[in-house]
A and B are shown apart, each in its own frame.
Chain A
Amino acid sequence: MVPEEITAILQVFLFPGFSFLFSLAFFVEWLDRKLVAKFQNRYGPLHVGPKGILQPFADFIKLLSKEDITPAMADRVPFIAMPLLMLTLAMTPLFCIPINGCSALVSFEGDLIVVMFIMTLIALLLFAGAWVSTNRFSTVGGIRAGLQMFGYEIPLNIVMIGPAIGAGSLSISEIIKWQSQGRWFIITQPLGFAILTICLLAHLQVVPFDIPEAETEIVSGWLVEFSGKKLALIRLARNFKLILAASLMTSLYMGGTSGLWQPNPLTYFIKLVVCVFILSNLRALFARFRIDQFLAGVWRYLTPLALLQISIVEVLAW
Chain B
Amino acid sequence: MAVTGPVTRQAKSRLLRIYEQMPMPKYVIAIGSCAISGAPFNGSYSIYEGVDKVIPVDVYVGGCPPRPEAIINGMLRLIKKIGSAQ
A residues within 8 Å of B by Cβ? 66-69, 227-228
Closest chain A CB from B40 CB (angstroms):
31
Give the CA-CA distance A70 to B24 in the complex, in Å. 13
Bits for B1-31, please: 1 = Cβ < 8 Å to A, else 0. 0000000000000000000000111000000
Contact residues in A for B24 (Cβ distance below 8 Å): 66-67
Give the CA-CA distance A69 to B24 in the complex, in Å. 9
Contact residues in B for A227 (Cβ distance below 8 Å): 23
Q: Is the interface of A mostly helix, strand, loop or mixed?
A: loop
Contact residues in A for B25 (Cβ distance below 8 Å): 67
B residues within 8 Å of A by Cβ? 23-25
Q: Is the interface of B mostly helix, strand, loop or mixed?
A: loop
Give the CA-CA distance A67 to B20 in the complex, in Å. 13
Closest chain B CB from A150 CB (angstroms):
33
- Nearest chain B residue, comparing its CB with the CB of A228: B23
- Nearest chain B residue, comparing its CB with the CB of A68: B23
- Nearest chain A residue, comparing its CB with the CB of B24: A67
**Lowest 9 CB-CB distances: which A-B pairs, in order?**
A67-B23, A67-B24, A227-B23, A66-B23, A69-B23, A228-B23, A68-B23, A67-B25, A66-B24
- Nearest chain B residue, comparing its CB with the CB of A66: B23
Give the CA-CA distance A69 to B21 in the complex, in Å. 9
Contact residues in A for B23 (Cβ distance below 8 Å): 66-69, 227-228
Contact residues in B for A228 (Cβ distance below 8 Å): 23
Since A67-B23, A68-B23 are in contact, a sample of 7 more A-B pairs with Cβ atoms closer than 8 Å, ordered by chain A residue number, is A66-B23, A66-B24, A67-B24, A67-B25, A69-B23, A227-B23, A228-B23
Closest chain A CB from B24 CB (angstroms):
4
- Nearest chain B residue, comparing its CB with the CB of A231: B23
Contact residues in B for A69 (Cβ distance below 8 Å): 23
Give the CA-CA distance A118 to B24 in the complex, in Å. 35
9 pairs across A/B with beta carbons < 8 Å? A66-B23, A66-B24, A67-B23, A67-B24, A67-B25, A68-B23, A69-B23, A227-B23, A228-B23
Give the CA-CA distance A311 to B9 in the complex, in Å. 67
Closest chain B CB from A204 CB (angstroms):
26
Closest chain B CB from A68 CB (angstroms):
8
Contact residues in B for A66 (Cβ distance below 8 Å): 23-24
Give the CA-CA distance A228 to B23 in the complex, in Å. 8
Give the CA-CA distance A67 to B26 in the complex, in Å. 10
Closest chain A CB from B75 CB (angstroms):
13
